[in-house]
Chains A and B, each alone.
Chain A
Amino acid sequence: MQLQIRLTYLYPYHMNLYGDTGNILCLQHRCQARNIDLKIQPIHPTDNYVPSGTDLYFFGGGQDAQQLHVGKDLLRHQQIIREDIENGAAALTICGGYQLFGEYFLTSRQQRIPGIQIFSAHTRGSNHRMIGNIICELPENLYQQIQQAYPNAPNTLVGFENHSGETILSDNQTPLAKVKYGYGNDYTSKQEGLLFHNAIGTYMHGSLLPKNPHLADYIIAKALQHRYQEQIALLPLDDSLALQAHNYVLNRFRNS
């Protein structure tokens, strides 16, 4: 039997600012290499589609105006996305998508964009533009889980960030990783992203997944687990090039 993953791609035309396509290409590539059928269902504002049976949500970044536009539409799907995430569906939300999965985003012009409150976190526009390469270290818990999907995983994530919004997590929320180089959620805390059940929020693009194949496999494994309610081992792939690119960023920026 061929395994299947249903991916719901939230607002691909509006939210795709920083190489977000690369993440989809990476998921496609890694699923295809293992003969997993990755079904991608896009969701657009005003369409009638309801994302039922989703194993994996993907939500990229966008410009402020487009974020506001899709933010209104997203509220329609709040209930179903929340249920899916609480039942273990995976999600990768980046930058604007991450912000909209939170409680609200208060822009620097004091415009309040409500989020769908999957994450207990909110975002405020700031005067700092946080731009540059970013290196993070995975916390022990998550690292162990990633190793189950990807035995020789590095305990780091690398990417590029470009945001002025500062995301503040509520006390009970777990950050995705600890910043070793760069900014992360905000200007000072040295925390990056958020992990809630199997849903990830992050400011890392670049694209994120191609250079972090261990994170890609973790997401695929969680999506499969959601679909089949059991852990399914993934065939290892040759990631030497991806890991070289990963290590290049580590070596170039970590000690600077």
Chain B
Amino acid sequence: MYLPAVFAYVIGKLLWHTTRLVRIGGGSAAPGLIALKLNPNLLIDIRSQISGPCIVVAGTNGKTTTAALIRSSLAQEPKNTHILHNATGSNLSRGIVSAYIHNYQLFRTQKDYSAAVIEVDEAVLPQVLPVLRPTHLVLTNLFRDQLDRYGEIESIKHKWLLALQKLDSNCDLFINFADPQIAHLVSQLQSSHLQVHTYLLRDISADLPDPSQNILSPLEQGICPACNSLLTLRHSAIIGQGLFTCTTCRFHNSDAGYILTRDAHSDQLVTKNQQIFLKLRTRHKDAISLQNTLAAYAVLQELKSKITFEELTQNSPQKFGRFEKIPTPEGEIMLVLIKNPTGFTESLRSVTHQAYPFQSVAFILNDNLADGQDISWIWDAPLHKYLPQKLNTVYVSGSRALDMSLRLSYALPPESSPQIIPNLSELLQNLIRKKDSSIVFATYTAMLEIQSWLAENKIKNAYWK
């Protein structure tokens, strides 16, 4: 026998108040964790209170941003006064329940949600799919990430496939067609409940090397997911993604429902059956943001939202260490979350290509469970290629500061050799005092520490506010 849901929520809510009172955190995970211990079926109960669309976003990278874009656009519609959303990237079951508890009104009748926008961890997706029964599901991409926690891509893909096949409610599935793994997953799907929509970002002026042409920046996307031969990749806007063809089995992608094409001068959007053809003023945007926006746009189009692509790029929320800019008295700090080689490389590439000039850089590498205990991925990102050779300052911190310094010693000239500052507060203070722009790359738990520090020092609002 489990505690009735309502008691679990009340206890969770009291805990939520307590964590804030004593300032031990934002309550983005613990209240949900405890409530789920008291009643493991809470997600079913929560789902029953969502009367409108239930949108789920999953994938290795881009979940938080894509979900935030969809949420903020939906929130502009008068009918959507009450949206369930796990905003802080807390994307295990406990995070979803915590988001619900956050809004929970003690001793009142709870109002139904007009919509839900929920990001879900890739390992958790198979368990929560049958419970959340999404009306809309976005799969952003799938690549190597925290192998110690998630295991191999193959096994995740297999579990996703089984869960998707079993889904017995109708669902609009939005997939990133430029990602060979996602495209392959969907090619194996046979389900009358799923309506597949594809989106694809490509860059016809791309200077990106085909990953299969460089043995020293190996990424699994160079391999055909269908037959394990080599893939050729063209028009790649993001590493390992683009127009691909297998040299052996001919597995390939081509047209998609929503295609955004970049060339050297402009961006153009073409949607299904040429219903929309637009020249966009989004050339200054980096490829990752653009791809997330495209995913959100596709969902919103199917939801009959009136928002235009450009409006969507303009209200792109700066979320929690995803290229988040913090102004300082005489400069600026940009915060970038890192967790896997592809994301790390793509972030580095974005900041250099975006011509975001930075003179100082800090790397904070932790190896807690939530960061991934295996830090070997820092060796898979070709740092020498994207780090400017002239830097004023290079700081390193975190439990694996020495490993990061060693990695950087392979990528930077001796005169830019990194300085280890174990104390995070000291490191941030130093950066804030600088008269230049700096970038802080940090793993997940390090980013939480940074956010708490910034809030404590009144530099920005707490991430849970």
Contacts and interface: CB of A to CB of B under 8 A. Distances in A.
Given A21-B380, A160-B374, A65 B406 contact: no
A175 interface: no
Given A242-B406, A245-B402, A22 B215 contact: no
Interface residues of A, number: 40
B170 interface: no
B228 interface: yes
Contacts of B388: none
A69 B228 contact: yes
B379 interface: yes
B288 interface: no
B152 interface: yes
Contacts of B144: 17
A160 B403 CA distance: 13
Interface stretch (B29-37, B216-224, B452-460): B216-224
A40 B214 CA distance: 12
Interface stretch (A6-14, A48-56, A141-149, A227-235): A6-14
A165 to B, nearest CB: 13
A26 B407 CA distance: 10
A26 B406 CA distance: 11
Given A12-B218, A25-B216, A244-B402, A66 B376 contact: no
B376 A160 contact: yes
B379 A22 contact: yes
The listed residue with most A CB atoms (<10 A of its CB), out of B220, B377, B406, B407, is B406
A2 to B, nearest CB: 22
Contacts of B211: 13
B154 A18 contact: no
Interface of B: 144, 147-148, 152-154, 211-212, 215-218, 220, 222-223, 228-230, 373-380, 402-403, 405-407, 409-410
B406 A16 contact: no
Contact of B215 (A9, A160, A242): A9
A19 B216 contact: no
Contact of B228 (A12, A20, A65, A160): A65
B373 to A, nearest CB: 7
Give 6 closest A-B pairs by Cβ, nearest first. A22-B379, A19-B376, A19-B379, A69-B228, A12-B215, A16-B218
Interface in A1-44: 9, 12-14, 16-22, 24-26, 29, 40, 42, 44
Interface stretch (A116-124, A193-201, A204-212, A216-224): A204-212
A162 interface: yes
A40 B215 contact: yes
Contacts of B212: 13
Nearest to B373: A132
Nearest to B228: A69
B165 to A, nearest CB: 20
Contacts of B402: 241, 244-245, 248
A133 interface: yes
Contact of A162 (B148, B222, B378): B148
Nearest to A208: B376
Contacts of B406: 210-211, 241-242, 245
Given A24-B216, A64-B152, A13 B409 contact: no
Nearest to A60: B218
A78 interface: no
